[in-house]
Amino acid sequence: MGEMVSYRSNGGTSEGYLALPSASNAPAVVVIQEYWGLVPHIISLTERFAEAGFVALAPDLYHGKHTTEPDEAGKLIMGLAMDQAAKDIAGAATYLAERPETGGKVGAVGFCAGGSLALWSATLSDKIVATAGFYPVLPWERMRPDWSGYSGKAAAIHCSEADGTSAAEGVQLARRSIEAAGGDCVLYDYPGTKHAFFNDDRPEVFDREAAATSWARTLDFFRTKLG
């Protein structure tokens, strides 16, 4: 089982849920929440990454707040201060890179709103060299990413059919920008899927086959890029 930890965040302190693998010198990954907050699904997913051999940390971007109500979740994500989120994510990457169990390279993965934040994260921290975004939905204008930070880095984007597949303009903008910066970007489509198809706490949208395929692809991606 993991635990809540505190870590330095650009002069301040942030908290997150940390899960450790059994092996040392492991790759590390920042796990970024959906708009619900640091809920049990994200905690269990952080544990799954640890079981798969990663040092995993899920920063608490809402600093203690979370919800199961869509209206409240919408208010929380709209109220998220992007400058603070950037500090929390970059600080989490530095914390992971400096832990004795890791080899120094860090990835970031996120879902829904967190999918956009995960893709953004490589522009925030030199430590983050590979990102995986599941059905990213936050408009890039909220983050104003400096895509040049992707030089020599890599991204994978998992796209649902309900969100417009990989043809969606936001996904294509990210791909073009990452590749123009000298990074690699691979897009995956999952036909017939709804938004949040990976979230097994939401049976109305969960797609077992797509979730299994995207999980395997994500693990392989991070093992290749962070190994």
% pLDDT > 70, the chain: 100
Confidence at residue 188, expressed as pLDDT on a 0 to 100 scale: 98
Supply φ then ψ for residue 20, to 5 degrees.
Answer: -110, 145
Rounded to the nearest integer, the mean pLDDT of the chain is: 95
Confidence at residue 218, expressed as pLDDT on a 0 to 100 scale: 98
CB 108 within 8 A of CB 121: yes
Confidence at residue 145, expressed as pLDDT on a 0 to 100 scale: 93
Arch. (CATH architecture) of 3-226: 3-Layer(aba) Sandwich (3.40)
Domain ranges of the chain: 3-226
Confidence at residue 129, expressed as pLDDT on a 0 to 100 scale: 98
Confidence at residue 227, expressed as pLDDT on a 0 to 100 scale: 81
* Overall residue count recorded for the chain in this entry: 227
Alpha-carbon span 76 to 175, nearest angstrom? 28
Average of per-residue pLDDT across 182-189 = 98
Question: pTM for the whole thing?
Answer: 0.96
Cβ within 8 Å of residue 206, ≥6 positions away: 196, 197, 198, 199, 200
Per-residue pLDDT tens for 122-164? 999 999 999 999 999 889 999 999 999 999 999 999 999 999 9
Confidence at residue 1, expressed as pLDDT on a 0 to 100 scale: 75
Per-residue pLDDT tens for 14-51? 999 999 999 888 999 999 999 999 999 999 999 999 99
Six token digits for residue 12: 């301040």
Alpha-carbon span 45 to 33, nearest angstrom? 10
pLDDT category at 91 given cuts 50, 70, 90 is very high
Alpha-carbon span 192 to 198, nearest angstrom? 13
CB 89 within 8 A of CB 18: no
**Alpha-carbon dihedral of residues 176, 181, 134, 85, nearest 10 degrees?**
-130
**What is the layout of strands, in order, in the sheet containing 128-134?**
3-9, 12-19, 55-59, 26-32, 102-111, 128-134, 154-160, 184-190
Confidence at residue 24, expressed as pLDDT on a 0 to 100 scale: 81
